[in-house]
A and B are shown apart, each in its own frame.
Chain A
Amino acid sequence: MKSRSHVRNAILSMAAMAIAACAGTALAQKKYDPGASDTEIKIGNTMAYSGPASVYGVFGKTYQAYFNKVNAEGGINGRKINFISYDDALSPPKTVEQYRKLVEQDGVLLIFGNFGTPGNLAVRPYMNQKKVPHLCLCPSADRDDPTKREDFKNFPWTMGLQPSYFLEGKIYGRYLAKEKPNARIAVLSQNDDYGREFLNGFKAGLGSKAGTAVVAEETYEPGDASVDSQVVKLKASNADVFLDLTIAKFTVQAIRKAAEIGWKPLHVINTNSISISSVLKPAGLDNAQGLVSASFYKDPTDPRWKNDAGVKEFHAFLDKYYPDADRNSNLFPYAYLTVQHLVEILKQSGDNLTRENVMRQAANIKDQQYPLLLPGIKYNTSSTDYQPLEQMQLIEFKGERWELIGGVINSN
């Protein structure tokens, strides 16, 4: 009996050693920083779940819903996502506090998908000092200041995602420089950082023509009652292009006023105002004919995409994981694309889940397409290009919907 138990022990210990050896080699291939393990990836986020901007809280809820889907389908490379999202009420001091909690107390691998430029600017030094990836920001932290475009040098751990206003403005500029080289352009913009960045981008896109092509510039304050007088003044400049960088309420007024005074320029509006139900219908669909704008994803409310695989997939996701989502809101496709991109970065990082490798993979995205993006739109990054999306598709309003016109425009 004794000898048999010896043998058994020997076999068992050999087996144990073999297992340990296997595990050892496996461990050698896997690399982890805080927040990652064989079974889990911890991801942090802060959102305005309360306060005046709480409408954007649906971003965080969409992320959570998408991670539920990922986890239900087996996780990312076998690891479940543990998503921790706190309320910051869009107040920068609160954002800083919650970020510190996420990094120092909860030990997340990375933070992603934050909404709000001031909050992102407030935490950027901290994240870069701690060397924690700060990814897929919307609006991206450098949105406000085009001179900070080179920020990847100072802030290599911070990366935006969706196109900035600067970039969108630039796309309109490039479009007009190419399609209407002799245009006389009248511009109406909001008198704040956002309006100015739009305008700076537009002039950068026009290039050398910027000095002569823009014949009239008017601004309005966000608190103004109407932009009617500005539109009348712009008409008097005899411009044949009306670049209308207003927010929804004022876009409605501008479209109506232009029709009322019989001004029929090429009227370009921005992506904030392309909603058919809340902007174009109130302005009158007759008046909205021929409007031009830009987009980068398929509008899920557009009947044209009813049978499109990407849009169907999007609706199926919402049906199952976020049934009470408002299908008319453009926040959901936005959030959906944001979280999909993060999952892609994590998939690409494989078993090397160090913060450094995640950041390296985030800056190594090549021609990435998602089903909900418009055909031809691709995400690209490199170690010197921290703007993942630099293309947009021009659209024109015809009949009762937006039509795609021309090809995809690159901002560079």
Chain B
Amino acid sequence: MQNTSPRAAALLIPASILLALVLPWLLTDFQVFQSTQILIYAVAVLGLNLLTGFNGQISLGHGAFYAIGAYAFAILVQHFGVSYTLALPLAGVVCFGFGFLFGLPALRLQAHYLALATFALAIAVPQILKHRLLEPWTGGVAGISLIKPDAPFGLPLNADQWLYYLTLLSMIVLFYLARNLLRGRVGRAIVAIRDYPVAATSMGVNTALYKTLTFGVSATYTGFAGALSAMAIQYVSPDSFTMFLSIYLLVGLVIGGVGAIPGAFIGAAFIVIVPNVATDVSKSATGAIYGLLLIVVVYLMPNGVWGALGQLWNFLFRSTQVHGKPTGMESQAMARRTGARLAIQKDGSAEAPKLDTGPAANS
């Protein structure tokens, strides 16, 4: 956000938070529940964004971390009697451990090989959760049912509103932390590794350490989201976390905008709402309609919806100031996107990086 018009950011963030705070009083319980789900997916997509968007490591397996977070939460609450509010961060810590450990072997894998390795993780985890040895903990195919938490301290909130506010609070904290992380020295190192790993190493960045740490942090975010979802849905089972979940998270990332923090919301809204729209149109061709919408968005908004919004913003308010030159959110998103592309190309193929990134270099 640092390159966006500071005025816009100064207005946008408090306005969104204010809107988010009053929302539960304007919506029905069902809509509050649906909003909670969007916030949860936003955290999960942000986690993936840290890894894929900012660090350039592609993961097709973040559904696995989401599942681990959800199960860690459910097992802590169900079998150890840990309170909901404590189990959430603990689930995040567990996921950090898993993410870090998975990040170690992942260091040796580049681009699409890493994508395949993480995809294998997404396929394996639901199977492992069903395994007989883990059944006393995981409940096998039948999963674990949880009790819906009521608002503590006699707050005048119903269960849906309380879950919404708890999720909102977690999300604001996590987004704030992510922004600070990316703005500082660590963030520059993470992005540098994505853009030019060799240059980053020569600058003294410990590439291996940063890549595994990013994996761990990314898994923490997505796992935390999984824990929030277990709390909101009050149920976990292996069928909740199929490989499609991982793919949906990647869809949310690309739709929202790769390498743009606020894009996570838009991507999350897409994940939750578009499948419902698709069924409303036709029950026989749900998948086809979903796919069509996906193609339309990707084709019309190559920088994701957030990138397109930035373009629109510039078109409306900046066109006279900076003529014909993309700036602000758009150029930032473009820089990140192209950066990600560069990283992939360097790692994965011999094709020369495109040189049409002039404005991006300025941002």
Interface of A toward B, CB cutoff 8 Å: 47, 49-52, 54, 57, 60-61, 85-87, 89-94, 96-98, 100-101, 104-105, 116-119, 121-122, 124-126, 144-145, 191-194
User: Which of B233, B239, B287 has most A Cβ within 10 Å?
Assistant: B239
Closest to B135 in A: A193
Query: Lowest 6 CB-CB distances: which A-B pairs, in order?
Result: A87-B279, A50-B286, A104-B30, A122-B235, A118-B237, A193-B141
Contact B29 A96 (CB under 8 A): no
Asked whether A57 and B283 contact (CB < 8 A) given A104-B29, A118-B142, A122-B233, the answer is yes
Interface string of B283-325 (1 = CB under 8 A from A): 1101100100000000000000000000000000000000000
Contact B143 A92 (CB under 8 A): yes
Contact B276 A93 (CB under 8 A): no
Q: How large is the interface on B (under 10, 10 to 19, 20 to 34, 35 or more residues)?
A: 35 or more
Report the bound CA distance from A258 to B291 in whole Å.
47
Report the bound CA distance from A98 to B283 in whole Å.
14
Decide if B89 is an interface residue (CB 8 Å cutoff): no
Decide if B119 is an interface residue (CB 8 Å cutoff): no
Could you say which of B28, B132, B237, B286 contacts A122, with CB atoms under 8 Å apart? Answer: B237
Decide if B37 is an interface residue (CB 8 Å cutoff): yes
Contact B239 A90 (CB under 8 A): yes
Closest to A145 in B: B142
Asked whether A121 and B143 contact (CB < 8 A) given A91-B242, A92-B239, A97-B37, the answer is yes
Contact A118 B141 (CB under 8 A): yes
Asked whether A92 and B275 contact (CB < 8 A) given A60-B283, A87-B283, the answer is no
A contact patch SS: helix
Report the bound CA distance from A85 to B234 in whole Å.
23
Q: How far is the CB of B34 from chain A (nearest CB, A)?
A: 7
Decide if B196 is an interface residue (CB 8 Å cutoff): no
Q: Which chain A residues lie closer than 8 Å to B272 at the CB level?
A: 97
Report the bound CA distance from A85 to B286 in whole Å.
13
Q: Which chain A residues lie closer than 8 Å to B132 at the CB level?
A: 191
Contact A121 B145 (CB under 8 A): yes
Could you say which of A50, A52, A118 contacts B143, with CB atoms under 8 Å apart? Answer: A118
Decide if B326 is an interface residue (CB 8 Å cutoff): no
Q: Which chain B residues lie closer than 8 Å to A193 at the CB level?
A: 130, 140-142
Q: How far is the CB of A357 from chain B (nearest CB, A)?
A: 25
List residues of B (10-48) whose CB comes within 8 Å of A's CBs.
28-30, 33-34, 37
Could you say which of B29, B33, B130, B278 contacts A87, with CB atoms under 8 Å apart? Answer: B278
Contact B239 A118 (CB under 8 A): yes
Could you say which of B29, B33, B286 contacts A49, with CB atoms under 8 Å apart? Answer: B286
User: Which of B142, B234, B242, B278 has most A Cβ within 10 Å?
Assistant: B142
Q: Which chain A residues lie closer than 8 Å to B245 at the CB level?
A: 91
List residues of B (231-257) whose CB comes within 8 Å of A's CBs.
233-235, 237-240, 242, 244-245
Report the bound CA distance from A9 to B33 in whole Å.
55
Closest to A194 in B: B141
User: Which of B28, B147, B287 has most A Cβ within 10 Å?
Assistant: B287
Decide if B229 is an interface residue (CB 8 Å cutoff): yes
Contact A85 B239 (CB under 8 A): no
19 other A-B residue contacts (CB within 8 Å) besides A54-B286, A93-B235: A49-B284, A52-B242, A61-B284, A87-B283, A89-B244, A92-B233, A92-B240, A93-B233, A93-B240, A97-B34, A97-B272, A100-B29, A105-B28, A118-B141, A118-B143, A121-B145, A122-B237, A125-B147, A144-B140
Report the bound CA distance from A100 to B37 in whole Å.
13
Q: Which chain B residues lie closer than 8 Å to A60 at the CB level?
A: 283
Asked whether A92 and B290 contact (CB < 8 A) given A100-B30, A117-B142, A193-B141, the answer is no
**What are 10 A-B pairs at a CB distance below 8 A?**
A49-B284, A50-B275, A87-B278, A90-B239, A92-B237, A101-B30, A104-B30, A125-B147, A192-B130, A193-B130
